[in-house]
Amino acid sequence: MLIQTLAATALVAVSSAAPSQTEDHPLQSLLNDAEQLREIYTSPQAQQMLDQVEHLPVCESRTIYASFRPNKAVNEDEYNNLSEEQQQKLRQLDITPIDYYSTFYGSPLVYARTLDLLHQHAPDFTINNANIIDLGYGQLGQLRLWAQMGAHVTGVEIDPILTAIYDNCEAVGDLKEPTSGSVTLIEGSWPNEESARTQVGAGYDLFISRNLLKHGYVKPEKLNPNFPPPVGWEMSDAEMLGHLYDILNPGAIVIIESLGPKPDPQKPWSDISNPWPESAWTKAGFQVLSHDQDESAYARTMGAALGWDERMNLETDLFAVYSMYRKPVSAKNNND
């Protein structure tokens, strides 16, 4: 998910409090989240994802310096080589061990919902040995946890701040035994840029995108000059979904999930519906498993477990939808 703004509290997770001084484990807040969500997620693979939290490596803290709109970032060595005038345009961000996994968006364990959805619509799908791509990943947590479950996970983001956070991070790359999973990160605008399409390649068994592929984001009435063009900008529905179709293996699953506030016509960005109509997915060759399914009730239950009800009225201020598609097992890519 593209970082569009950064609150004054920067890297304080929105869905779980940062560990207090009395908490010994650097990732304690994430461990707490896992326990709170035990009864929310019911599938075996979702429970396995929660189990993996205690095995996350504790990464060494680091400092980066960033500017926003447009987003840029440098590491400490690069910062020290800048002029004083250039330094004054950047803001210091101290990255703690928990920040590597949560960044700006709170607990990555909300992604366990995708595993429950897989269990519901594609119960035979196994994360182990799967090739997974997360478009607009936003945070490392879910990628690393899936890799610890044996998946080969590719995260794609347009934001250079995340590149600076994860440069030479020990939680990225091939995992050591006993798992053979891996994490690969790509900075680029997929599928808008040919270079990003080349890096992403093809051969994925599962495509996930959470809180990025919203109608209000993907199909705005006009571009915001402070942000890069959205996914598939100036592409037809057929061209955009064709790119997605072609990176997937036959039988692959697509999951799009979005949370947001109550839709407001005066706030077009609040439209969390699927950017592409069901007919466009069908014409692109996908089997529709679910399209714009309302899951606000689940989102509110999950939000209450994570303490979101302390900051919002969940019944009136939190809504959610998901869509799922399958590339037919017998399908071939359009360029075959």
Residue 286's Cβ-count burial label (10 Å; 0-12, 13-18, 19+) is buried
Q: What is the pLDDT at residue 333?
A: 64
Query: pLDDT for 97-138, tens place per residue?
Result: 999 999 988 999 999 999 999 999 999 999 999 999 999 999
Domains in the chain, start-ordered, CATH in brackets?
Answer: 28-58+105-326 (3.40.50.150), 62-95 (no CATH)
Helical H segments across the chain, by residue range: 28-36, 44-51, 76-80, 84-87, 97-102, 112-121, 141-148, 160-166, 194-200, 215-218, 237-246, 278-283, 296-305, 314-317
Strand partners, 74: 65
pTM of the model: 0.91
Q: How far apart are alpha carbons 106 and 110 in whole angstroms?
A: 9
User: Are 71 and 160 within 8 A, CB to CB?
Assistant: yes
**What is the chain's pLDDT, residue by residue, as a tens digit (336 residues)?**
433 333 323 333 333 333 444 457 999 999 999 999 999 999 999 999 999 999 999 999 999 999 998 899 999 999 999 999 999 999 999 999 999 999 988 999 999 999 999 999 999 999 999 999 999 999 999 999 999 999 999 999 999 999 999 999 999 999 987 788 999 999 999 999 999 999 999 999 999 999 999 999 999 988 888 888 999 999 999 999 999 999 999 999 999 999 999 988 888 889 999 999 999 999 999 999 999 999 999 999 999 999 999 999 999 999 999 999 999 998 776 555
Please report, to the nearest 10 degrees, the dihedral formed by the alpha carbons of residues 120, 125, 131, 135 taken in order: -10
Q: What is the pLDDT at residue 14?
A: 35
3-state helix, strand, coil in the chain (%, to 5): 35, 20, 45
Q: What is the pLDDT at residue 111?
A: 98
Q: Which of 207, 316, 211, 213 is nearest to 258 (CA)?
A: 211
Specify the 3-state DSSP secondary structure of 232: coil
Query: pLDDT for 270-290, tens place per residue?
Result: 999 999 999 999 999 999 999
Q: Which of 164, 198, 168 is nearest to 93 (CA)?
A: 164
Q: What is the pLDDT at residue 242?
A: 98
Q: What is the pLDDT at residue 73?
A: 96
Q: What is the pLDDT at residue 249?
A: 98
Q: Which of 33, 96, 93 is nearest to 59 (CA)?
A: 96
Query: pLDDT for 84-108, tens place per residue?
Result: 999 999 999 999 999 999 998 899 9
Q: What is the pLDDT at residue 336?
A: 53
